[in-house]
Copies of this chain bind each other. A is one copy, B any other.
Amino acid sequence: MHDLTLAANALRLLAIDAVQQANSGHPGMPMGMADIAAVLWARHLRHNPADPAWPDRDRFVLSNGHGSMLLYGLLHLSGYDLSMDELRRFRQLHSQTPGHPEFGITPGVETSTGPLGQGLANAVGMALAEQLLAAEFNTPEHTVISHRTFAFVGDGCLMEGLSHEACSLAGTWGLGKLVVIYDDNGISIDGDVKGWFGDDTPARFEAYGWRVIRHVDGHNLAAIDAALQAATQDCGRPTLICARTVIGQGAPNKAGGHDVHGAPLGAAEVAAVRAALHWPHPPFEVPDAARAPLDARSRGAAAQAAWQARFDAFRQAQPERAAELQRRLQGELPPGFEAQCAAQLAAVDQRAETIASRKASQNSLTALAGALPELLGGSADLAPSNLTQWKGCRSVVRAAEGGNYLHYGVREFAMVAIQTGLTLHGGVRPFAGTFLMFSEYARNAIRMAALMRINPIYVFTHDSIGLGEDGPTHQPVEQTATLRLVPNLDVWRPGDAVETEVAWQTAVRHRRTPTALILSRQNLPHQRRDATTRAAIEKGGYVLVQERTDRPLQLVLIATGSELDLAVQAQAQLAALGVNTRVVSMPSCFMFEQQEAAWRRAVLPPGVPRVAVEAGVTAGWRQYVGLEGAVVGIDTFGESAPAGDLARHFGMTVAAVVDAAQRCVQSAAGQVR
């Protein structure tokens, strides 16, 4: 094990030298987990640095992402395309070594971590994807999907409520190939965790149905190796290894205290580490003997080659299944998909149904599920309300038995973070629902998916006061507006079944953008459109009702979702009153903003007064209506009452829209120009 000690110390030195050079970062965790990392990566992790996208690689997730330099050191020493120069540029602009690991920036980084608990939930999602794909594609003769997921977690991850949600599900699902290593160092930022973290963590995880390996000395290489050996014997349950470590292990004066967590050690202590570890090498120099144990290039190539041979045999035996698996793993849509979409959109239009957009969503996803077997649905215990199930979907109970519908229970945050892990793993295309209000429980995980530029789909129903009697605790007022402010999140609030169909199609087409579908509880009338108008929906904002072209346009009404029909009715009344009005439907501001300026100007001609209508907070619409326009919306919390009463109470009525429109037109006419 001597070489492994060298490798572990190399990881320690790389971390503290990079932090020192950046004058910023977290040395304590990399030093504390270096021994565990060295044993895991040298002896257990099956990966190929030459191909970080190898589908059957083991996944490694650093949930305690502040210890990023540990991961960068591992990737560099293993042979990934991550140069020493990049390590020197730790935490510098546009380096491949940002402060926390970021998916898409660094080869070998499986997910972006830092917000605590989420990496753990991502890992649960990855392990779940592996089991579901294995159940679907492996045969008695051919094993083409078989890999593990390893995650490092700290005290912080396990204090977070998300760890409860994700690990309870992992136990219920029986994710036998998930191995979590708990860095039990007894220290968090406020100091010794005894004062705020009194859990019996092993007992807690046993209560979730996990196998727990207790009392592992995280600085004893043989003990670590034995624990990992045991953990990788599949018993149909996920495994938690509780490894007792010393934060900042190797720092003679600072180890074991919280000062070593998030600040450079300082030149003196760095020198003291060098002395204590007998490490004569200058910063960013690693001797070959320390590199050798972690160098995974040749064994990784061999492992992948062996898998490729298995896959080739599978392809030989079952070419269609192999092609299907490959298509899914590459995240490609099936041939003929666009034609199916066009046919489906025409069919929805022709049905001209007055239905809730949540119901329209169910119809759309039912049609999509036929074309896309990779769809993996779910809901946070609201399947009958979100309408996320479809005929023929099969509930996952034990993951090893497969399925394509997930009962997440009342666990919104885990649902979204697990979807992130499923998406990152590849081969499945997850969507899942809850009430729009409870998207707030999952808020940061939605943001993380947007930041990672991946494409899960969220089905958020019961989207306004239209849900009625459940009252203000359940009535979204500001939620749609706040979701629209998340960069790279496509928020659709469709106004009828036709727009809902387009929203689903767009969501499925996105490769680098997650989508939130904002859907009504209540029925929405069908809007009539010609083929050109129907084709314009995907642009996010388009003219639904054209004004009279023989007179000047006087007003543009902009509306979304359940308020679209209010605008359409108001337009008719305004026309009767002699106000020449256009209705713009704006189901997706995100897509509208991506259109060329010419399109946006054509839809919203400059200089024409505008009134926006949406049953929610008004401030966001000022970017379309300006200071001179008006917004018909709701800037207070809701109330508990039947939906019709609420619409009147909050002024979400045709009369209110007509009134606002007339005042806006009069005010514009009265302005000196």
Q: Which residues of A contact B (CB under 8 A)?
A: 22, 24-25, 65, 91-95, 98-100, 102, 112-117, 155-157, 159-165, 168-169, 171-172, 188-190, 193, 195-201, 203-204, 206-209, 379, 381-385, 395, 397, 407-411, 413-414, 437-438, 440-441, 443-444, 447-448, 450-451, 468-474, 477-478, 481-482, 484-488, 617, 619-620, 622-623, 626-628, 635-637, 639-642, 645-646, 649, 672-673
Contacts and interface: CB of A to CB of B under 8 A. Distances in A.
Contact of A444 (B171, B385, B440): B440
A11 to B, nearest CB: 20
A642 B98 CA distance: 11
Copies in the complex: 2
Contact of A410 (B24, B155, B470, B622): B155
Contacts of A188: 381, 409-410
A195 B672 CA distance: 68
A582 to B, nearest CB: 18
Nearest to A188: B381
B197 A172 contact: yes
A472 B105 CA distance: 12
A478 B486 contact: yes
Contact of A482 (B92, B206, B384, B485): B485
A487 B99 CA distance: 35
B189 A384 contact: yes
A409 B92 contact: no
Contacts of A93: 639-642, 645-646, 649
A471 B99 contact: yes
A477 B468 CA distance: 33
Contact of A100 (B22, B114, B172, B640): B640
Nearest to A450: B637
A188 B382 CA distance: 9
A635 B443 contact: no
Contact of A637 (B91, B193, B488): B488
Contacts of A200: 206-209
Contacts of A162: 161
A159 B410 contact: yes
Smallest CB-CB A-B distances: 5 pairs: A161-B161, A98-B640, A164-B164, A93-B641, A114-B473
Contact of A473 (B102, B155, B395, B646): B102
Given A93-B645, A161-B163, A473-B113, A189 B385 contact: yes
Contacts of A411: 159-161
A100 B474 contact: yes
Given A93-B640, A164-B164, 12 more contacts: A22-B469, A25-B469, A91-B641, A95-B640, A98-B472, A112-B473, A114-B470, A114-B471, A159-B411, A160-B441, A161-B164, A487-B635
5 contacts: A160-B411, A171-B198, A199-B207, A199-B209, A623-B627
A25 B470 CA distance: 8
A381 B190 contact: yes
Contacts of A642: 24, 91-93
B208 A206 contact: no
